[in-house]
Amino acid sequence: MRPHEETISVGGIDVHAWIGGRGDPLLVLHGAGANRGWVRWIQQVAEHFTVWAPTHPGFGRSGDAEWMEGVDDLARFHLWFIEAAGLGRPHLLGHSIGGWAAAEMATMSPGSINRLVLVAATGLKPERGEILDVFYHSDAQLRDMIVHDPKTVPEWDELFGQPPTPAGLEMADRSREMTARLSWKPYMHNPRLAHFLPRVTNPTLIVWGRDDRIVPVECGEQYRRALPGATLRVLERCGHLPPIEHPDAFARLVLDFLQGAA
């Protein structure tokens, strides 16, 4: 199926989503940087799986959800999305706060998903380091901090190289406001999440960048220890955006895992 954009109503909220590919469904949840669309790694994965990439309420072109107070609310909403979209029991992949939401979904209803992929996920408090205060930094500062080396990012110009439009700036402010509402207190973690992760026996792949300056790689190790069926893969010369920084290697890791080879 060629990728296309669709609006799906969930609980009275219009959810903008990218959909395309062939095969079993894979639900992809984006991070605080919003939905980046049909990027390179998704195109490769969509040759084998039907990718559903919704935009969270309060982000991008999706409707508002002023009642949401935390990522646990976002998780319950996306479990509802699975039902509304008729996805059955999809594979689930989440990045950053999308990874946190995916982890919460798995603890709430492990039988609702198949395999789980967590990418540089927030949600757990580091034991030694700390998660960067993204609200202290401007969007321009964060743009350079989220990757290890912009010169090695294949889609850098397409995703980050153009000056923002007024509409783009407004959308970024909206996403930033919603991120703060969902994750500000306690900052970027749920102190109760770790207690429920052992319930998740689904096969799980955790992917992290060795040089992640937003969420330290030790959080990936904490997820690995807490999830009974988890494997951790750390990409070298990689920051907080493994799918964008190393799209080919990332797509191969995801495909091997979802197809049962890893």
**pTM of this prediction?**
0.97
pLDDT(261) > 60:
no
> What residues contact 90, with CB distance under 8 A and at least 6 apart?
24, 25, 26, 27, 52, 82, 113, 114
pLDDT(157) > 80:
yes
| The pLDDT value given to residue 137 | 86
Mean pLDDT along residues 233-238: 98
Q: CA quadruple 133, 138, 139, 141: dihedral positive or negative?
A: negative
pLDDT in tens, 193-220: 999 999 999 999 999 999 999 999 999 9
Contact 71, 100 (CB under 8 A): yes
Question: What are the residues facing 52 on neighbouring strands?
Answer: 19, 27
Torsion of CA 257, 80, 58, 27, to 10 degrees: 20
Q: Is 41 exposed, middle or buried (0-12, 13-18, 19+ CB in 10 A)?
A: buried
Look up the CATH number of the domain holding residue 116.
3.40.50.1820
Q: Which of 89, 78, 88, 62 has the alpha carbon at shortest distance from 29?
A: 78
| The pLDDT value given to residue 169 | 82
CA distances from 225 to 10, 28, 167, 248 (A): 34, 23, 42, 27
Torsion of CA 210, 214, 216, 220, to 10 degrees: -80
CA distances from 231 to 120, 141, 193, 202 (A): 13, 32, 19, 11
* Low-confidence winner among 54-63, 163-172, 224-233, 234-243 (lowest mean pLDDT): 163-172
Domain that holds residue 57: 4-258
Which tops the pLDDT comparison, 127 or 169?
A: 127
Query: How confident is the prediction for the chain on average, in pLDDT?
Result: 95
pLDDT(262) > 50:
no
Q: How many domains does the chain have?
A: 1
- Residue 13 pLDDT level (bands cut at 50, 70, 90): very high
* Type of residue numbered 142: L
Number of alpha helices (DSSP H) and beta strands (DSSP E) in the chain = 10, 8
Alpha helices in 132-215 (DSSP H): 139-145, 156-160, 166-183, 193-196
| The pLDDT value given to residue 260 | 84
pLDDT in tens, 73-111: 999 999 999 999 999 999 999 999 999 999 999 999 999
| The pLDDT value given to residue 1 | 75
**Structure-token match 């306690």, residue found:** 186
The token pair at 187 is 């900052």
Mean pLDDT along residues 170-182: 91
pLDDT(130) > 60:
yes
